């Protein structure tokens, strides 16, 4: 069945929960848990990976109740939730779920900042990434807006470059160079775009 991993915060007289391993669970477990939360008047934010419950539903009460429903919950600690540098962590919600924070377009980050509850872990992560980029423009990269600054396709938007050329850049330039980082980020962006287009058909 699988253990459901949640991160919990108490904020503004309500309990905020973030669903950390939705993709690892069976469809049956996920659907049962989602239905259970809705039955408790839970409100989901953005994707189904973040939800709030009333002040009554503390993590202790939620854990006890889910056990009665044959569902098992594990609450992760702050140290478990944040183990990697922020920009290497994975975003767990929305359009760019599964992307490293460093690969998420700037305009999406600003949208997410407005759409998440202030004070929650997700909101803080979005804000921290925006702040980090402002302090270090090296990482401020958007494949759909940034242009390549070298080679025969100079001034071309990264997302418009041929897949083979992007792979050549990735293989040619050394690890941690700006060129390789931008190429790898664009490759992942294009792969994700193909997947989302198929899912809409």
Q: What is the mean pLDDT of residues 70-75?
A: 92
Which of these, 3, 189, 42, 9, lies nearest to 117 by C-alpha position?
A: 9
Tell whether pTM > 0.75. Answer: no
Indicate the SS3 state at residue 75: strand
Q: Quick one: which H or E segment has residue 4? A: strand 3-11
Q: What pLDDT does 24 receive?
A: 74
Main-chain dihedrals φ then ψ at residue 140, nearest 5 degrees: -80, 85
CB 158 within 8 A of CB 148: yes
pLDDT tens per residue, range 90-121: 676 677 776 767 778 777 888 888 877 788 77
Domain boundaries, the chain: 3-80, 82-139, 141-201
Mean pLDDT of the chain: 79
pLDDT tens per residue, range 21-51: 776 778 788 888 888 998 998 887 545 567 8
CA separation for the pair 87, 90 (Å, rounded): 8
Rg over alpha carbons for the chain, rounded to the nearest Å, is: 20
Higher per-residue confidence, 122 vs 160: 160
CA separation for the pair 122, 191 (Å, rounded): 24
- Say yes or no to pLDDT of 166 above 90: yes
Fold of 3-80: Translation Initiation Factor Eif1 (3.30.780)
Q: What pLDDT does 88 receive?
A: 59
Q: What pLDDT does 115 receive?
A: 79
Q: What is the mean pLDDT of residues 129-152?
A: 76
CA separation for the pair 9, 120 (Å, rounded): 7
Q: What pLDDT does 136 receive?
A: 61
Q: What pLDDT does 144 receive?
A: 85
CB 39 within 8 A of CB 5: no
């Amino acid at each position: 069945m699988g253990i459901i991993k949640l991160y919990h915060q108490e904020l503004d007289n309500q309990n905020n929960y973030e669903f950390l391993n939705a993709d690892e669970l069976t469809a049956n477990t996920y659907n049962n848990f989602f239905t259970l939360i809705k039955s408790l008047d839970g409100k989901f934010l953005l994707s189904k990976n973040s939800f709030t419950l009333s002040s009554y539903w503390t993590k202790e009460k939620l854990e006890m109740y889910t056990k009665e429903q044959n569902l098992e919950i594990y609450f992760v600690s702050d140290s478990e939730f944040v183990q990697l540098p922020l920009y290497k962590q994975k975003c767990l919600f929305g359009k760019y779920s599964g992307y490293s924070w460093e690969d998420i377009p700037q305009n999406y980050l600003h949208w997410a900042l407005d759409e998440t509850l202030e004070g929650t872990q997700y909101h803080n992560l979005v804000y921290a990434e925006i702040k980090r980029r402002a302090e270090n423009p090296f990482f401020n990269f958007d494949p759909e807006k940034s242009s390549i600054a070298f080679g025969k396709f100079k001034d071309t938007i990264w997302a418009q470059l041929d897949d083979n050329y992007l792979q050549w850049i990735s293989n040619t330039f050394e690890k941690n160079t700006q060129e390789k980082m931008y190429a790898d980020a664009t490759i992942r962006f294009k792969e994700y775009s193909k997947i989302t287009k198929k899912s809409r058909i």
